Structure 1
Amino acid sequence: MNDSPGWATPGSSPSDGERPGTESGAQQPAPPTPPADDPKWSAEQPPPGQWSSPGTTPPEAPQAQPQPTTGWGQQPGTPQTGQYGPQSGYPGGPGQWGQPAAAKPGVIPLRPLGLGEILDGAVATMRTHWRAVLPITLVVATVVQVISVIVQKFMLDDLAFATDPNAGPEEIFDSLGSTFAASAVVQLIQILGTIVVTAMLTMVFSRAVLGQQSSVSDAWREARPQLLRLIGLTLLLALGAILLGAVLILPGVLTESVGLAVLGFAVWLPILVWLGIKFTLASPALMLEKSTVLKAFARSSKLVKDTWWRIFGITLLTTVIAFFISGMIVAPFQIISLFAFSGGLDAMAEGSGMTSWGALIAPAIGLIIAQTIVMPFQSGVTVLLYVDQRIRREGLDLELARAAGLENYGTTGG
């Protein structure tokens, strides 16, 4: 097994084997033969191994009992280093079986995950592997915002010229055209930056699941072969959304029918959300399974099937959390920009003061900080959702356990 998971469809689980230090059907040593003249021993004794004195612990451990197969559990009472926390005996009291803890070599336990475990796993990766996560997001966010500030500087200058009452129709048209072009450039840079971050962070999170450290160079080396395909996947999703909107909304716009345009939008939005969730796992499938774009779409559709609402809820909650975190970080910088560099509310109402470098740089600093925190959180939740779905449907926990070096994980004693 490689030091990092191949994330291909796992094969059959390893056959059940013997637990180290345990032999199937081994008989327990018989108790010592009592002296013939000892009055405390009766002439007839129960069969060995079937009794113990009340209130005392028998000198020899009882014979190992077969454990019900859990798929990702281990026999109770036989913890192994690196798989379980401190536990011994029989959980739940004498004669009772308790659910053993799942192995946790990295940031998540190797079993189906709950909402809290997915969110906690994303945060734990950011905290534990910050040396790899922080430089990736910080550098990309800084590059994106620097380019955006430069583009917006000229874009806002054009807007100020367009609002000049002495400007003619041709000048206004040219100004608005350059504004849309500049906005498109900013969005394109933002998308490309997000793609790079997503690709590299996916590799960091895949190693964090196994408890393995990552570096920026490792993440780049593993993500680079799939970057062009990830760009194609992202652009294909964006193109599909635009074409779908054009088919549903454009007829109303061309016929100048507001009702038809609104109806088209009302149909387009839920379809867009449905398709977005259906293909939300395509990116990690593409990166971790080294597949093609079309196969990644098919894999995401298969993994999301019958769990659309659950994934929608987790994704929506993640988006809301990210929105509030970004808002709390960016808001103070926007206030500083407004009153320190833009001349206050009156200047903003007049449309002046927003073209200064200070008014553009202050919010950009806030956005850099916000994106450095939010991007890995959202990427981490998506990757862990992918892992969770594969554990639930394909037994990926066994594959991950073997990749983490837990050779006997999921086997039972004979």
Structure 2
Amino acid sequence: MNDTPGWVPPGSTPPDQPGDGRASDASGADRPGSADRPGGSSAPADQPDAPPQHPGAQWSRQQPPPGQWTAPTAPQGQDQAPGQTPPPPPPGPGWGTPPPAGPAGPGAYGGPGGWGGWQTPGYGGWGGPPPAAKPGVIPLRPLGVGEILDGAVSTMRTYWRTVLGISLIVAVFSQVVLVLLQGLWLKDTADADALGDPSATPEELGRALGDTFLVLGVGVLISLIGTVLATALLTTVTSRAVLGRPVTAGEAWRDARPQVPRLFGLVFLLILISGVVTGAGITPGILVVAAGSTAAGAALAVLGGLAGLVVTLWLMIRFSLASPALMLEKQSIRKAMSRSTKLVRGNWWRVLGIQLLAAVLAEIVAAIVVVPFNLLAAASSGGVGMFLTADGAAFSWTYLVISGIGAVIGSTITFPISSGVTVLLYIDQRIRREALDLELARAAGVPGYGSAPSGTTPGS
């Protein structure tokens, strides 16, 4: 085998070079020393009294085969003394030894900023976990409470044209219908004047209250329809925002339209369940009152009503993720409720806390906007209250228009928050239970995760 200049193959022992008083070891590195020392041992010239080394401390003449070792080199900028092995580098803050150097480009493995490099900032050493992919508004990993809330706000801020456009259209539609109902139907009803008349008979007050509750019931129905439509559209927008893909209102409607009837059915079924459970709790007390025990019946009705509310809350949290499951997985009503039950199981308190926090924040934001408009409307109409005012001022056009504007602004802001939190909570639970983050990364085209099958819905 021919020797390459400057390199001696391991395992070969070249003869001592004559005339220079230096001997070559098995690695091809010259060893300073004297040829006339006993036993052929060598020592530095400036240390004549150095004790002889034990034979076992020197390099063995039987070196490992080529390719299994690397000759030590001097640190950069310093000359390596012959026969001197450099000390190992100090341990870094990471776990274990740094990995071999890779491509030097930014983001490469082992390069500056590389996710696998030992110099990756934020993780101390090369053994730290790589940061989660974040193609959209959330990182693709289990989320914290703050990340869920921030994701909902980021969706509204990043895709504000689509999100606020959908919310504004739905809010305007709902409030216009409510204003017309209250301004035309209730104000023109003769019995409505009895609400502000101290001399009204009980029959007139009963009819006036009946008309008022009828209008309020219709208003709740209109608001419910608007909420369902906003939820359907914003669920699609939020699911695309997780992948970093914008979507227009028209595209969101085309994607959500086939599931909208089922979403209405789901919402009305949940309302029916709540009513039945609460009614079942109150019914025994009503029957006792009808039997003649007023005090005992009233106490039983109160206790039964509280128990019914507790059971209703428990059921509503269990089914709180049914809406995004129905929209994103294209499920039926029954399967969507079953999916929600499965995802919430074992995390009921966490889901309750996040949903409650989101509802409180949404109500605070709505109150900041709506309450000043209601006070301004009452003052402009000469009323003394926000609902029932003197001389029917609460139903004047001035009051209805000003308060309606405040309601539109409040709903435009709160719709995306409440809907976005529910969708992101659903995605978070699926990431924790079903590793949905891998599927989302593939759907978003993140390198290293493969490609998503064509024709699939991200998040399904």
Normalising by the residue count of structure 1, what TM-score does the alignment of the two structures yield? 0.79
* Aligned residue in 2 for 1:225: 258
- Work out which of the residue numbers 255, 279, 285 in structure 2 matches 1:252: 285
- Superposed, which structure 2 residues align to 1:23-172 within 5 Å? 33=7, 41-42=29-30, 48-49=69-70, 53-54=74-75, 63=100, 78=109, 87=115, 89-90=117-118, 91=120, 96-153=126-183, 154-155=185-186, 158-165=191-198, 167-172=200-205
* Aligned residue in 2 for 1:366: 406
- Shift of the 101–52 alpha-carbon distance from structure 1 to 2, 3 Å rule, reads farther
Q: Decide whether the 8 Å contact of 2:192 with 2:211 is kept in 1.
A: no
How many angstroms does 1:173 deviate by? 3.3
User: Could you tell me how far apart the structure 1 residues matched to 2:135 and 2:317 are?
Assistant: 29
CA RMSD between the two structures: 3.5
How many angstroms does 1:149 deviate by? 1.5
* Aligned residue in 1 for 2:39: none
How many angstroms does 1:409 deviate by? 2.6
Structure 2 residue 449 is the aligned partner of structure 1 residue 409: yes
- Shift of the 229–49 alpha-carbon distance from structure 1 to 2, 3 Å rule, reads farther
* Aligned residue in 1 for 2:352: 312
Unaligned ranges ≥5, structure 2: 32-58, 79-87, 89-97, 290-296, 452-460
How many angstroms does 1:124 deviate by? 0.6
User: Could you tell me how far apart the structure 2 residues matched to 1:109 and 1:347 are?
Assistant: 45
User: Could you tell me how far apart the structure 2 residues matched to 1:270 and 1:159 are?
Assistant: 36
Letter of the structure 1 residue corresponding to residue 414 of structure 2: V
* Aligned residue in 2 for 1:10: none
Please identify the structure whose Cα radius of gyration is greater.
2
User: Could you tell me how far apart the structure 2 residues matched to 1:272 and 1:50 are?
Assistant: 74
Q: Decide whether the 8 Å contact of 1:31 with 1:48 is kept in 2.
A: no
User: Could you tell me how far apart the structure 2 residues matched to 1:31 and 1:272 are?
Assistant: 85
User: Could you tell me how far apart the structure 1 residues matched to 2:365 and 2:416 are?
Assistant: 13
* Aligned residue in 2 for 1:274: 314
* Aligned residue in 1 for 2:333: 293
Structure 2 residue 234 is the aligned partner of structure 1 residue 201: yes
Letter of the structure 2 residue corresponding to residue 262 of structure 1: V
User: Could you tell me how far apart the structure 2 residues matched to 1:189 and 1:239 are?
Assistant: 17
Letter of the structure 1 residue corresponding to residue 251 of structure 2: D
Which 10-residue stretch deviates more, 333-342 or 260-269?
333-342
How many angstroms does 1:355 deviate by? 2.1
How many angstroms does 1:135 deviate by? 1.1
User: Could you tell me how far apart the structure 1 residues matched to 2:71 and 2:362 are?
Assistant: 60
User: Could you tell me how far apart the structure 2 residues matched to 1:380 and 1:85 are?
Assistant: 33
- Shift of the 215–52 alpha-carbon distance from structure 1 to 2, 3 Å rule, reads farther
User: Could you tell me how far apart the structure 2 residues matched to 1:353 and 1:50 are?
Assistant: 95
User: Could you tell me how far apart the structure 2 residues matched to 1:62 and 1:304 are?
Assistant: 41
Letter of the structure 1 residue corresponding to residue 347 of structure 2: T
- Work out which of the residue numbers 268, 274, 281 in structure 2 matches 1:241: 274
User: Could you tell me how far apart the structure 1 residues matched to 2:450 and 2:70 are?
Assistant: 29
CA deviations over 1:230-261 (Å, ceiling 9, x no partner): 00000000001011111111332343321011
SS at match of 1:354: helix
Letter of the structure 2 residue corresponding to residue 120 of structure 1: D
CA deviations over 1:66-118 (Å, ceiling 9, x no partner): xxxxxxxxxx96399xxx97656214799751121011111111111111111
How many angstroms does 1:311 deviate by? 0.9
CA deviations over 1:271-291 (Å, ceiling 9, x no partner): 111111111100000000000
User: Could you tell me how far apart the structure 2 residues matched to 1:338 and 1:390 are?
Assistant: 47
How many residues get paired? 367
Normalising by the residue count of structure 2, what TM-score does the alignment of the two structures yield? 0.72
SS at match of 1:110: coil
Larger relative contact order (CA 8 Å, sep ≥ 6): 1
- Work out which of the residue numbers 378, 388, 403 in structure 1 matches 2:428: 388
SS at match of 1:100: coil
CA deviations over 1:326-367 (Å, ceiling 9, x no partner): 111112111211212234569976454222111111111111
CA deviations over 1:289-332 (Å, ceiling 9, x no partner): 00000000000000001011111111111111111111111121
User: Could you tell me how far apart the structure 1 residues matched to 2:355 and 2:6 are?
Assistant: 65
Percent of pairs with identical residues: 47
User: Could you tell me how far apart the structure 2 residues matched to 1:140 and 1:244 are?
Assistant: 31
How many angstroms does 1:178 deviate by? 2.1
- Superposed, which structure 2 residues align to 1:320-339 within 5 Å? 320-339=360-379
- Shift of the 231–349 alpha-carbon distance from structure 1 to 2, 3 Å rule, reads closer
How many angstroms does 1:164 deviate by? 3.1
User: Could you tell me how far apart the structure 2 residues matched to 1:139 and 1:402 are?
Assistant: 34
User: Could you tell me how far apart the structure 2 residues matched to 1:173 and 1:343 are?
Assistant: 23
Letter of the structure 2 residue corresponding to residue 118 of structure 1: I
Q: Decide whether the 8 Å contact of 2:366 with 2:410 is kept in 1.
A: yes
CA deviations over 1:200-246 (Å, ceiling 9, x no partner): 00000111111101000000000000001000000000001011111
Structure 2 residue 383 is the aligned partner of structure 1 residue 355: no
Letter of the structure 1 residue corresponding to residue 134 of structure 2: K
User: Could you tell me how far apart the structure 1 residues matched to 2:229 and 2:127 are?
Assistant: 48
- Shift of the 233–49 alpha-carbon distance from structure 1 to 2, 3 Å rule, reads farther
Q: Decide whether the 8 Å contact of 1:106 with 1:210 is kept in 2.
A: yes
